[in-house]
Amino acid sequence: MRIAIYGGSFNPPHIGHAEAARAACEALDPDRFLIIPTNTPPHKELEENSPGPEARLEFCRLAFADIPGAEVSDMEIRREGKSYSADTVDALRTEYPGAELCIVMGTDMFLAFKSWYRWQYMLETCTLAVLSREDFDRREIEEFKEELERDYEANIILIPHTPLPMSSTEIRGKLRLGLGAEDLSQAVYGCIVRNGYYDAKPDLSWLRQMVMPYLNDDRIAHVSGVESQAVMLAMHWGEDPDKAAVAGILHDVTKALKKEKQLKLCEKYGIMLENAERESPSLLHARTGAALARDRFGVSDDIYDAIRWHTTGKPDMTTLEKIVYLADYTEPTRDFEGVEELRALSFEDLDRAMALGLKMSIEDLTARGKPIFHDTMDAYKWYNNLN
């Protein structure tokens, strides 16, 4: 019986890890292929903002789900203290006496193998399966392999492999900048963004792609327009353009849902509704959209609030909230009497623009015989009194 073991901190596991696992699995053809995330890595400290062991375990389940035969094991997560591979080998030898244990590693780890805890014991009891990088000095790899085979009767398999140009360290840095989605499986990236791990900001291209299934065809141009208008306003008024973009992309994420589904979302997220809100899906989508944006995409509180108030407005709004409200009203596809004046005023005086926008909204609702929600009236009174 051959058991392949691929361990690491996987902080986070990226597509390079998955590709390496696939190459090892194909070359070794093991009876069992164990992916084993560490609890506490023995050779390095995890960054302070890294997720805990259980979260990294879940990352691995998501990242390696498509590798045939791969099993994600929690044996090192359950074991307290530093995660030494030798201790894992001890446990597997007890559970599977007589099995061939193949330790999968990269070229860097192989060349540093003599620094491992109980490395001689590892050579005596395991086969080293080395993903041999072609860009390394082949002679150095071969000479070290021959040394270990000669001096310690080691069993070593070299697996020709060219790794993808990425590292978990670099990806963590990219995530903080709103980048890195392409380096991770969608499931892992979504989990990271949703939970705010690594202080990740959502990659805007990824977010646009994720939001598409929620939108009707006639809503796509509007959402794109709100994003671009919100970004321009944010840059003009000294607000974070990335936050404005995220709010713009997500502001209508539940707009297409019928009233029944809106109410189910309210129940799911514990949203308490007034009677007027229950009767108006156009009011509900701002509340359910904010809740879904937080749940599915991990938006921060200020983005949540900007989505929450983009339809009715409210008194004393933050700069980001005003920007999203006005971007929704004045994005480039909007074409109604007075929009050019409101669009221009948005870049001159946000509070005066809010007063005008709320006044226009109230007049439009009145002309169409629609009820005016009290938040809108309160907001109009607030901003009108400022001028």
Q: Which helix (H) or strand (E) holds 7?
A: strand 2-8
Asked if residue 156 and residue 31 are part of one domain, the reply reads yes
Residue 176 inside a domain? The answer is: no
Question: Residue 44: pLDDT above 70?
Answer: no
Question: Residue 119: pLDDT above 90?
Answer: yes
Asked if residue 367 and residue 305 are part of one domain, the reply reads yes
Q: In what order do the strands lie in the sheet with 100-106?
A: 70-72, 32-37, 2-8, 100-106, 126-133, 155-161
CATH number, position 142:
3.40.50.620
Question: Residue 45: pLDDT above 70?
Answer: no
Asked if residue 141 and residue 23 are part of one domain, the reply reads yes
Residue 136 inside a domain? The answer is: yes
Asked if residue 219 and residue 147 are part of one domain, the reply reads no
Residue ending a domain, choose from 162, 188, 206: 162
Question: Residue 232: pLDDT above 70?
Answer: yes
Total structural domains in the chain?
A: 2
CA atoms within 13 A on the CB side of 40: 7
Q: Which helix (H) or strand (E) holds 37?
A: strand 32-37
CATH number, position 220:
1.10.3210.10
Give me the torsion for CA of 108, 110, 111, 114, rounded to 10°.
Answer: 130
**118's tokens:** 């109980």
Residue 75 inside a domain? The answer is: yes
Asked if residue 129 and residue 250 are part of one domain, the reply reads no
Residue ending a domain, choose from 139, 162, 185: 162
Asked if residue 301 and residue 222 are part of one domain, the reply reads yes
Q: Indicate the pTM of the whole model.
A: 0.82
Asked if residue 237 and residue 112 are part of one domain, the reply reads no
Is 48 within 8 Å of 198 (Cβ atoms)? Answer: no
Asked if residue 158 and residue 21 are part of one domain, the reply reads yes
Asked if residue 138 and residue 27 are part of one domain, the reply reads yes
- Per-residue confidence band for 301, with pLDDT thresholds at 50, 70 and 90: very high
- Per-residue confidence band for 42, with pLDDT thresholds at 50, 70 and 90: low
Pick from 138, 112, 40, 137: nearest CA to 128: 112
Bigger pLDDT: 232 vs 280: 232
Asked if residue 142 and residue 11 are part of one domain, the reply reads yes
**336's tokens:** 């109604």
Bigger pLDDT: 80 vs 187: 187
First to last CA, the chain: 80
Q: Helix 259-268 to helix 281-297 angle, to the nearest 10 degrees?
A: 50
Tell me the DSSP string of 347-383: TT-HHHHHHHHHHHHHHHHHHTT----HHHHHHHHHH
Asked if residue 242 and residue 350 are part of one domain, the reply reads yes
Is 233 within 8 Å of 328 (Cβ atoms)? Answer: no
**Residue-range definition of the domain harbouring residue 60:** 2-162
